[in-house]
């Protein structure tokens, strides 16, 4: 009944826009001031279709609980944010109104629903395109046929193509649920919703009942086609998650690959370099919060070079004091660096405490965007970009700098390099510093997606080793392929097997893979491989 | 065996265990000489760790396989024993289910999974203590040694193995109690596990089995087999060229070592009273390696000595100066590898250089020099 009255009212309105405004609005105001919920609901209805210029303001105020009625004469007032009152009907300030004589307009859930619906159809006409968009979406979800006339009007007036598309979709949805549409219109509506092709469209088509056979068949076909498209998007989404995990692994493993590749050194304290990078970020943010809050957005940009320097210098110190005594004894190096990692963890725990530290995310890194069927979270996206940049910088450094040249020479033939005048111990120290510095930068990125605690490095060290072992030693491309493969395989297994089981499966696959290729996917060729 | 002779080690282990048991049971609690049950169980725990250390030493010290996953075999043996002990609880659990352990009732399972069958029978559980680690080691070792995975690669995949098991045992659906593991044990072979007498008996049994393992390991490394093994450790390719099959030697010692670790785990569980997935943590395996390094790699007595001393230190540190323990442990790793490559055994005065394990260290050092040269020449 109510819907019918809606419809009637809107038809009337469209036919005679000027007529009856005043009466209707006055009735509505009287109804709103009532204490009976049904009467209030009727008032909301009336007001929504009265075309009164204040209707939107009044209904929004009501939604927020800022609409009051004066007990003495049932006049409506809107409370402003500053605590003053406006006359609801005129929209002018009402300075002489006493709060004591006012009563809030009553609301319960049905009334609230009515207000939301009314706001929805009112917003279809809003001058703000994004508000119209939201309203169209709301109608799409409610697919209330009563909104059809309002939609028709809105579509006719709409100029923004994106909003128009949404309005068309909402129209199609409402039409499918109306009782008196023709088969032809219905089929067209199904086509519109099929073209939209998201989860909501599928749900909508799925909930259709009492349709003519042709329409039902079309809806069924549309569901299948949407499923296919959604399936495709979920694959793309998995690839994206895999890339994002892979780039994290790449960041953590790149430094390890360098030190392992050039020096044959297994650095078990590598994870702690990552952890230290994360703590550098924390310290930088603390300083910025205290000294220059305006710079917070740039905190990560400041942290990246700082983390590189701190971790790099630490790496050089470690190499000079510890690792250089253990060259040619890779297993001993492994144990000594493990011991070092325990000391570093405990040192950080002693200084900063064992709890997770709060590392903030700058505004430009938080949030997400929807690209077609793909959800892209900004922090993940930036980490992918960052990993690519770090990788490019590393490759350029190895390829074009004199340090890189020396490093490659030492990797290929240490004795010959020494004979040519390269100071190999110095190159070792710098290589170790470079690898540790890269780990430090990885820590800055990881601080954005993981808990910053003394155990941060531990959770990545095994994965990083797997990447290096999988990709092959001394080959950055191997590390890239290894990291991305492991990331993507992991994310594809996750929906099938669950997060933990998929990790186990990946580990077992790796153990088996090593049997086939004991030196990784891209082993070093030539005499070097025989050692 | 030289510095600390085998007989001395055996006498110390067995005599110590018997003495503690006697002082616990035979001396009145009021007496100064009385030893508490806590100390008895603690010593039993150390001796179980010593078994793990012996197992690690056998593969690392004599076959050159640096295992970073031996605690996995230890924990598997422990789980086999834990399953037996769980079944012995019977209807005395919180949910009083005569068949299902508490955690299964809690998870709403209605029947026992097939792999729990037979564990109510001690002989079967004991067999599993040997077979489960043994078969896993055989499969893993066969795959790894056959394809000549060596050095750090092997170390890393042993770590991957224990890490994968850690994750697996954390899962509730595995049917091994999830992250809580198994605890609240009541009986072993009809004797209460809380009972002083049982505790003392367990300690003595552990000591006896440790001595047995020691003798087995000693027999292995001093026999012809052991000599080839040491050759494999020092230069695998040369041994291969001489016509030996290094992978067979490695596989045998690897499986024996895994079984020894499994026995250690099985005896560990009733004395500690709990087994949970954290036993699989990669850190535990690496800690076992440092026991061996501290005691003296390549000396069987050293492994036992290292395990007991380091754990004694850990017990003291974690109660007296908990925040310093990791510093101490980390420093130990660094100090021992840098300055004390032969461990504590290297500090003991040399005695006669009879046949046995002693020449190993010299050979090993020579090999290290060689390795260094090779590595310098064509670094990987």
The three-state DSSP-derived secondary structure of B109-159 is CCCCCHHHCCCCCHHHHHHHHHHHHHHHHHHHHHHHHHCCCCHHHHHHHHH
Nearest to B378 among A329, A507, A531 (CB): A531
Residue A224 has pLDDT above 60, yes or no: yes
pLDDT tens for residues B317-342? 989 888 888 898 899 889 988 888 88
Mean of pLDDT values over A112-117:
78
Mutating which of A257, A511, A526 best tests the B interface, going by the most B Cβ atoms within 10 A?
A511
In the structure, what pLDDT confidence band is assigned to residue A150 with cuts at 50, 70 and 90? confident
Best CA proximity match to B368, nearest among B298, B294, B288, B295: B298
> Are A318 and A436 in contact, with CB atoms under 8 Å apart?
yes
Mean pLDDT of B238-257: 94
| C-alpha span between B109 and B101 (Å, rounded) | 10
Are A339 and B372 an interchain contact pair (Cβ–Cβ within 8 Å)? no
- Indicate the pLDDT class of residue B67, thresholds 50, 70 and 90: very high
Q: What was the ipTM of the complex prediction?
A: 0.82
Contact state of B290 with A335 under an 8 Å Cβ cutoff = yes
* The pLDDT of residue A282: 93
Domain ranges (residues) in chain A: 2-203, 233-530
Chain A residues whose CB is inside 8 A of the B170 CB are 500
Closest approach of B9 to chain A, Cα-based (Å): 27
Say yes or no for a CB contact (<8 Å) between A334 and B171: no
H or E stretch at A438: helix A424-446
**pLDDT value, residue A133:** 81
What is the predicted pLDDT for the residue at A225? Answer: 87
Nearest Cα of chain B lies from the Cα of A428 at a distance, in angstroms, of: 12
Q: What is the pLDDT of residue B95?
A: 86
Among A118-127, A371-380, A411-420, B127-136, the range scoring the smallest mean pLDDT is: A118-127
What are the pLDDT digits (tens) for B269-312? 999 999 999 999 988 999 999 899 999 989 999 999 999 999 99
Q: Return the pLDDT at A530.
A: 44
> What pLDDT is recorded for position A35?
78
- Whether residues B148 and A518 touch (CB distance < 8 A) is answered with yes
Question: Any CB–CB contact under 8 A between A330 and chain B?
Answer: yes
What's the mean pLDDT in A450-472?
84
Residue A116 pLDDT exceeds 80: no
Query: Within the 398-457 window of chain A, which residues sit less than 8 Å (CB to CB) from chain B?
Result: 410-411, 413-415
B150 neighbourhood in chain A, CB within 8 Å: 518
Q: What is the pLDDT of residues B156-184, one digit of tens each?
A: 889 889 998 998 999 888 889 888 899 88
Q: What is the pLDDT of residue A124?
A: 76
Tokens of A64: 């927020």
Residue A392 has pLDDT above 80, yes or no: yes
Distances (CA, A) of A304 to A250, A276, A527, B205, B305: 16, 12, 38, 58, 47
Is the CB of residue A339 less than 8 Å away from at least one CB of chain B?
yes
Q: Which of B293, B331, B378 sits opposite A343 (nearest CB)?
A: B331
pLDDT tens string B72-92: 999 999 999 999 999 998 888
Number of other CB atoms surrounding residue B17 within 10 Å: 24
Of B155, B167, B375, the CB nearest to A264: B375
Calculate what percentage of chain A has a pLDDT beyond 90.
15
Give per-residue pLDDT as tens, B208-234: 999 999 999 999 999 999 999 999 999
Q: Could you tell me the fold of the domain covering A233-530?
A: ABC transporter involved in vitamin B12 uptake, BtuC (1.10.3470)
User: CB contact, 8 Å: A515 with chain B?
Assistant: yes
Residues on chain A touching B376 (C-beta within 8 angstroms): 327-328, 414-415
Q: How confident is the model at residue A23 (pLDDT cuts 50, 70, 90)?
A: low
Q: Span A61-76, mean pLDDT?
A: 82
Residue B367 is predicted with a pLDDT of 47
Question: In chain A, whose CA is at the least distance from the CA of B292?
Answer: A335
Is B378 in Cβ contact with A473 (below 8 Å)?
A: no
**Whole-number pLDDT of residue A3:** 55
Residue A267 to residue A336: CA distance in whole angstroms: 9
pLDDT of residue A526: 52
> Does the beta-carbon distance from A345 to B326 stay under 8 Å?
yes
Average pLDDT, chain A: 82
Burial of A508 by CB count in 10 Å (0-12 exposed, 13-18 middle, 19+ buried)? Answer: middle
Q: What is the pLDDT of residue B57?
A: 95
The verdict on a CB contact (< 8 Å) between A514 and B144 is: yes
CA A309 to chain B, closest CA, distance in angstroms equals 24
pLDDT at B375: 42
Backbone CA torsion sign across A191, A193, A196, A201: negative
Task: Output A248 or A2, whichever has higher pLDDT.
Answer: A248
**Mean pLDDT within A498-510:** 82
Looking at residue A343, its pLDDT comes to: 93
Stretch among A38-52, A324-338, B341-355 having the lowest mean pLDDT: B341-355
Confidence tier at A17 by pLDDT (50, 70, 90): very low
Res A128 pLDDT > 80: no
Is residue B374 scored above 70 in pLDDT? Answer: no
Q: Which of A7-16, A161-170, A481-490, A497-506 has the lowest mean pLDDT?
A: A7-16
- Pick B289's closest partner by Cβ from A335, A508, A530: A335
Of A16-25, A269-278, B65-74, least confident by mean pLDDT is A16-25
Percent of chain B with pLDDT over 90: 54
What is the model's pTM?
Answer: 0.75
Beta-carbon neighbour count of residue A211 at 10 Å?
A: 17
User: What is the reported pLDDT for A220?
Assistant: 86
Average pLDDT estimate for A313-337: 87
Instruction: Report whether B332 contacts B317 (CB < 8 A).
Output: no
Lowest-pLDDT range, A54-68, B182-196, B261-275? Answer: A54-68
Nearest CA in chain B to A501: B168
* CB < 8 Å to A462, chain B: 159-160, 163, 282
Beta bridge partners of A376: A369
Q: Say if residue B266's pLDDT is above 90.
A: yes
Mean pLDDT of chain B: 87
Q: Does residue A427 contact residue A259 with C-beta atoms inside 8 Å?
A: no
Which of the four pLDDT bands, split at 50, 70 and 90, describes residue A529?
very low
Suggest the residue from A266, A410, A461, A515 to mutate for an interface test with chain B (most B CBs closer than 10 A): A515
């Amino acid at each position: 009944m109510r819907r019918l009255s809606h419809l009637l009212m809107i038809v009337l309105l469209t036919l005679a826009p000027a007529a009856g405004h005043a009466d209707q609005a006055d009735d509505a105001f009287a109804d709103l001031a009532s204490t009976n919920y049904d009467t209030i609901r009727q008032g909301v209805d009336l007001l929504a279709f009265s075309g009164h210029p204040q209707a939107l303001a009044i209904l929004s105020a009501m939604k927020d609980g800022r609409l009051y009625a004066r007990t003495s004469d049932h006049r409506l007032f809107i409370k402003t944010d500053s605590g003053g009152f406006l006359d609801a009907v005129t929209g002018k300030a009402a300075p002489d109104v006493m709060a004591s004589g006012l009563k809030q307009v009553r609301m319960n859930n049905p009334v609230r629903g009515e207000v939301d619906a009314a706001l929805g159809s009112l917003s279809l006409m809003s001058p703000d395109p994004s508000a119209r968009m939201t309203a169209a979406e709301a109608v799409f979800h409610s697919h209330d046929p009563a909104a059809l006339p309002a939609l028709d009007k809105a579509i006719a007036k709409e100029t923004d193509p994106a909003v128009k598309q949404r309005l068309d979709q909402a129209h199609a949805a409402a039409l499918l649920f109306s009782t008196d549409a023709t088969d032809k219109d219905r089929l067209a509506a199904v086509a519109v919703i099929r073209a939209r092709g998201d989860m909501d469209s599928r749900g909508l088509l799925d909930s259709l009942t009492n349709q003519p056979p042709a329409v039902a068949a079309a809806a069924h076909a549309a569901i299948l086609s949407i499923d296919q498209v959604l399936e495709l998007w979920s694959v793309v989404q998995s690839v994206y998650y895999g890339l994002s995990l892979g780039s994290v692994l790449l960041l953590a493993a790149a430094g390890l690959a360098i030190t392992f590749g050039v020096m044959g050194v297994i650095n078990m304290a590598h994870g702690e370099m990552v952890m230290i990078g994360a703590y550098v970020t924390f310290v930088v943010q603390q300083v910025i919060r205290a000294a220059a809050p305006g710079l917070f957005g740039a905190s990560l940009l400041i942290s990246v070079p700082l983390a590189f320097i701190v971790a790099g210098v630490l790496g050089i110190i470690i190499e000079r004091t510890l690792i250089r005594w253990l060259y040619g004894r890779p297993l001993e190096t492994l144990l000594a660096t493990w011991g070092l990692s325990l000391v570093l963890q405990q040192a950080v725990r002693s200084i900063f405490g064992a709890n997770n530290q709060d590392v903030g995310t700058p505004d430009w890194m938080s949030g997400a965007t929807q690209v077609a069927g793909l959800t892209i979270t900004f922090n993940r996206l930036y980490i992918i970009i960052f990993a690519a940049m770090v990788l490019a910088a590393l490759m350029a450094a190895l390829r074009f700098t004199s340090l890189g040249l020396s490093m490659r020479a030492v990797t290929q033939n240490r004795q010959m390099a020494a004979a040519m005048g390269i100071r190999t111990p110095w190159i070792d120290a710098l290589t170790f510093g470079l690898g540790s510095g890269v780990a430090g930068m990885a820590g800055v990125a990881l601080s954005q997606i993981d808990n910053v605690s003394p155990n941060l490095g531990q959770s990545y060290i095994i994965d990083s080793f797997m990447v290096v072992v999988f990709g092959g030693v001394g080959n950055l491309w191997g590390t890239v392929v290894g990291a991305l493969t492991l990331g993507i395989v992991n994310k594809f297994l996750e929906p099938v097997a669950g997060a933990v089981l998929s990790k186990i499966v990946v580990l077992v696959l790796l153990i088996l893979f090593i049997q086939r290729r004991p030196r990784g996917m891209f082993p070093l060729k030539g005499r070097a491989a025989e050692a | 065996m030289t510095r600390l002779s085998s007989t001395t080690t055996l006498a110390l282990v067995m005599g110590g265990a018997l003495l503690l048991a006697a002082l616990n049971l035979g001396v009145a609690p009021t007496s100064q000489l009385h030893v508490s049950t806590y100390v008895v169980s603690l010593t039993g725990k150390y001796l179980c760790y010593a078994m793990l250390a012996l197992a690690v030493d056998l593969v690392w010290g004599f076959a050159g396989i640096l295992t970073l996953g031996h605690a996995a075999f230890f924990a598997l043996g422990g789980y086999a024993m834990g399953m037996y002990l769980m079944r012995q609880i019977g209807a005395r659990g919180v949910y009083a289910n005569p068949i299902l352990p508490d955690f299964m009732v809690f998870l709403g399972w209605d029947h026992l999974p097939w792999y729990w069958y037979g564990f109510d029978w001690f002989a079967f559980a004991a067999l599993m203590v040997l077979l489960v680690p043994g078969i896993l080691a055989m499969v893993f070792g066969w795959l790894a040694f056959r394809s000549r995975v060596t050095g750090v690669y092997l170390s890393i995949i042993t770590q991957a193995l224990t890490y994968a098991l850690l994750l697996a045992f954390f899962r509730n659906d595995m049917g091994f109690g999830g992250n809580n593991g198994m605890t609240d044990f009541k009986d072993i072979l009809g004797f209460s596990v809380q009972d002083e007498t049982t505790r003392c008996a367990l300690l003595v049994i552990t000591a006896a089995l440790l001595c047995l393992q020691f003798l087995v390991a000693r027999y292995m490394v001093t026999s012809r087999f052991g000599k080839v093994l040491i050759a494999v450790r020092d230069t695998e390719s040369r041994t291969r060229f001489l016509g030996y099959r290094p992978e067979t030697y490695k596989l045998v010692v690897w499986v024996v070592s895994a079984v020894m670790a499994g026995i250690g785990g099985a005896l560990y569980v009733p004395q500690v009273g709990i087994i949970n997935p954290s036993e699989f943590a990669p850190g535990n395996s690496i800690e076992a390696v440092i026991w061996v390094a501290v005691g003296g790699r390549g000396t069987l007595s050293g492994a036992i000595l290292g395990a007991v001393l380091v754990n004694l230190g850990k017990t003291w540190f974690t109660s007296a100066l908990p925040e310093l323990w990791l510093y101490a442990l980390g420093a130990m790793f660094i100090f021992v590898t840098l300055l004390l490559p032969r461990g504590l055994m290297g500090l003991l005065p040399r005695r006669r250089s009879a046949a046995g394990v002693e020449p190993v260290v010299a050979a090993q050092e020579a090999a290290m020099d060689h390795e260094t040269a090779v590595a310098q020449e064509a670094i990987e």
